Copies of this chain bind each other. A is one copy, B any other.
Amino acid sequence: MSNAELGAFLGQWLPRLEDEMHVVLHNEETAVAQHYGMLHYHMGWANEELKPQRYPSGKRIRPMLCLLACAEIGGDPVQAIPAATAIELLHNFSLIHDDIEDGDEVRRHRPTVWKLWGAPQAINVGDGLFALAFAALQRSRRYGVASRTTLRALDLFTQSCLALTEGQHLDMRFEQRATVRTEEYLRMIRGKTAALIGASAAIGAVVGGATEAQVEAFQSFGRAAGLAFQIQDDILGIWGDPAVTGKAAGNDILRRKKSLPILYTLNHKSIGEPFAALLSNQLDESNVALAIAYMNQAGARAYAEGIVQTHFDNSLAALKKVLGNRTEQSMLWALVDSLLHRQA
């Protein structure tokens, strides 16, 4: 029943989230209309001429976790709307800067902000969104959240911002290196992916009135789920069905992405060397197939699936600390479970 319940919950709260994001990003001053226009473009609310138009947006996973955590702990989700908004804006800020840093020209099938308006303006647009994410969270008082609670949420929020930059720092450095140990990679995604997902659940719990021990459990739950999501993405980037993922078979091999299964194979005692030699060639369909054969031989898929399972289990165990017997019937777990089994 929790999937139908989840659908109803999201149908009720996601429009409130969208409304709040629009309120926070609204500005009427003509002089700076282009600055805010570029933000609207990035959010999928405006076209390249900065005229209103709707485009597909992100999946809103982080704000959903925040709203659900608030509800599951017995809080009123409306009080978590400012925090959920802040989290989604922060995520979007990080995408603007990541696209510049990685030189990515396309995001959600549209040219990236830097590609259209240049890196200098795009850096500054990202900074504006960073500030607005904080502004969003600071609107909590209007929703009846106590000052102490808001400050606690801000603490978690700021720590996750910092963790994002640590993760991104490592990600960029790893790109420059021939190989990276799997533990180093896991440290990187703890910062780049897991920290904000952990904070999303933790902040929702804080707003919902959780105790410190409960907040920690929600944070562990979210972090573990975030790690599982990321490594599952890594698996799909190699073995995913192109018909489902919308990407080429072995897409991450073609991009030489230092994802977990690739790093595991590169670090393999006997297969690492020929695999590295193969990746140093021009890559096409035939050697992608060979690369996948190497990876299967190394046991990279089983290894990565084992790690996903471990984090999946850890996530469930952490949530059980707070929700007990009703964990597996909860909307929060229904969300995590559906995300992890979406392309199984």
Contact = CB atoms under 8 A, between A and B. Distances in A.
Interface in A114-143: 119-121, 123-128, 130-132, 134-135, 138, 141
Contact of A148 (B101, B130, B147): B147
A309 to B, nearest CB: 25
A35 interface: yes
Interface string A173-201: 10000000000100100010000000000
Interface string A28-46: 0001101100000000000
A150 interface: yes
B124 A32 contact: no
A293 interface: no
A166 B34 CA distance: 10
**Which interface class (under 10, 10 to 19, 20 to 34, 35 or more) fits A?**
35 or more
Contacts of A26: none
A260 interface: no
A169 interface: yes
Interface in A148-173: 148, 150-151, 154-155, 158-159, 161-162, 164-166, 168-170, 172-173
B120 A162 contact: no
Given A32-B170, A161-B134, A169-B121, A97 B151 contact: no
A100 interface: yes
Contacts of A162: 128, 131-132, 135
A147 B158 contact: no
A134 B120 CA distance: 23
